[in-house]
Copies of this chain bind each other. A is one copy, B any other.
Amino acid sequence: MPEIEEMTEIEIEYEALLTQLRENDIDGFREDFLDLHTYEQSEFYSDLEEADRDLLYEVLSPEEVSMFFDSLEIDDDEAYDELFETMDARYAAEMIGRMQYDNAADILNKLPKSKVTTFLALMDRADAAEIRSLLNYEEDTAGGIMTTEFVSLSSLMTVREAMRHLKDVAQDSETIYYVFIVDEKRKLVGIMSLRELIVADDDEYIGDIMNERVVSVFVSDDQEEVAQIMRDYDFLALPVLDYQEHLVGIITADDIMDVIDEEASEDYSRLAGMSETEKTSDTSWETAKKRLPWLVGLTFMGMITAGMLSFFEDTLAQVVLLGAFIPLIAGMAGNTGTQSLAVVVRGIATGEVDASSKVKLVFREVGSGLITGLTCGTLIYLIILVMYQEPTLGMIVAFSLFVAMTVATFIGTLIPMFMNRIGIDPAVASGPFITTGNDIVSLMIYFTLANIFMAALL
C-alpha cells in the first residue's frame, strides 16, 4: 500500500485505541489492540504517555505485553529505564521472562544492575537461567544476538516423530524453519530445513537425510561477520557454538536485518563525523552536545593548519594570489582522501578487503591518485594560464594538487588499515579527521613548493 495512505489509516486506528483505553472500554480496546500486528502494537505503545501506559498494564497481561516488547525498538537506553519506573516489578519480571530470550537479554543489558538483579530474582527460574546465560556475551558478538529458543532433534528420530515434536515446541521456539540435530553430548552434527522435513518420507531417519555440512559461528564472533555469512548463504537461521562445539543458540534472519542496518548506519555516521547515538528526534541542545566533541576537536586541528599557514605568512604576503588556491588544494586532497577512506572502511566491513588484498589496494588507490591528480593538475594549470596568465603560479598550484591528491589517497588508505591492524574499528577514522589531516599535509606541500619557486613568482 502507498505509505502515505497506510500511515493515515493506522494513525486513525491508534487514535481510536487511545480513546477506548482512556474511557475504560476494556473489551473494545483488548479486541482491537490484540488484533494489531505486534510491530503496530509496539508503535502504539511507544507513543503513549506515562499515565496511558499505566492504564495499558491494567488491561493487558504480562504475556500480552511481552509480545510487543519483542518488537519494541527504542534507541535511547535511558528511555528503557523510564519504561520500567512505573511498571510493577513482579509484572515487569514476568513480562520480560516471557519475551524471546535474546530480546529479554538485550533489554536487561540496558537497565541498571540493581533492576536486573530484582527482575531476575522475581522471574520464573527456568527463564531467568536462560536469560542470564545470554547476559554474559558482548552485545556485538554472535552470543549477544543469538537466542536459545531453537528446535533440536536427535538423529535417531524419524521424520514423523520430528514433525510431532515440532508441533509441540512450535510455540516456544523463535523459528521452526530450521531444526538442529545434536548428539548425546549436545554437539551439533547436522541441520535440516522444515522444507526438507516436509518433503521427506515420514519413516526416514533424520540421521540419514540431514545435512552434515553445517556452517556455524562461535559465540564470540563479531556480528558483522555473522551478517556477512547469513547474507552470502541466504540462511534464515545460523547455529552458534561454544568452544567445546556445543550448540548453544541460533541467530535468525530478523536479527540480522537489524545488524546490517545498524552497522551500515554506524559507518555512515562516522564518515560524516557524527556519533551513532544521534536521533532525528533529538532537540537542538542534544544534537549540539553530541556533535561538539567532534567539532571542538576539529577546531583544534584547524588551529594547527592556521598555525602552519601563519608560519608561511611572508610567502603569502609576497604572492597574495597564493591564498586564493588554499581552499581548492585542501578541498581536493580532502575529497580524494575521503574516497580512499570510504573504500577501505566498507571493504573491511564487508570482508572484501582482507590481508592478501590490502597491499594491492594501497597500490590501486595510490595509482588512481596519480592519475586523477595528473588530470586535475593539468586542468588547473590550463585554467590558471588562461584566467590569470601566471604560468609559474599555475605550475605550483598544479604540481601541489598532483602531489597532494596522491598523498591523500595514500593517507586515506593507510590510516583505516592501520587502525584495523591494531584492533580499532577503522570506521572511527572519520571523514572530517582524515580531511583535516589532509588539509595540513596538502598545504604544507603547497607552501613549500611556493617557497622554493618564490623567486620566479616575484
| A residues lining the B interface (CB < 8 Å) | 1-3, 35-37, 39, 71, 163, 166-167, 170-171, 176-177, 194-195, 198-199, 213, 215-218, 221, 225, 230-234, 236, 253-254, 256-258, 260-261, 264-265, 267-269, 271-274, 278, 280, 282-285, 287-288, 291-292, 294-296, 298-299, 302-303, 305-307, 309-310, 313, 316-317, 320-321, 323-328, 330-332, 334-336, 338-339, 341-343, 346-347, 350-353, 357, 361, 363-368, 370-372, 375-376, 379-380, 383, 387-388, 405, 431-432, 435-436, 439, 443
Q: Jot down 30 A-B pairs with beta carbons below 8 A, ordered by A.
A: A1-B216, A1-B217, A1-B218, A36-B213, A37-B213, A71-B232, A166-B198, A170-B198, A177-B195, A177-B236, A231-B257, A231-B261, A260-B261, A268-B271, A268-B346, A271-B271, A284-B371, A288-B367, A291-B336, A291-B339, A292-B372, A295-B332, A298-B332, A299-B328, A303-B328, A306-B327, A317-B317, A326-B327, A331-B439, A335-B432
Q: Give the residue of B176, B225, B294 whose beta carbon is less than 8 angstroms from that of A195.
A: B176
A335 to B294, CA, bound (A): 10
Q: Give the residue of B163, B233, B335, B370 whose beta carbon is less than 8 angstroms from that of A273.
A: B335
Contact B327 A327 (CB under 8 A): yes
A352 to B366, CA, bound (A): 39
Name the CB-closest residue of B to A275: B339
Name the CB-closest residue of B to A340: B272
Contact A272 B338 (CB under 8 A): yes
Contact B194 A177 (CB under 8 A): yes
Contact B272 A342 (CB under 8 A): yes
Contact B231 A258 (CB under 8 A): yes
Residues in B with CB closer than 8 Å to A331 are 298, 302, 305, 330, 334, 432, 435-436, 439
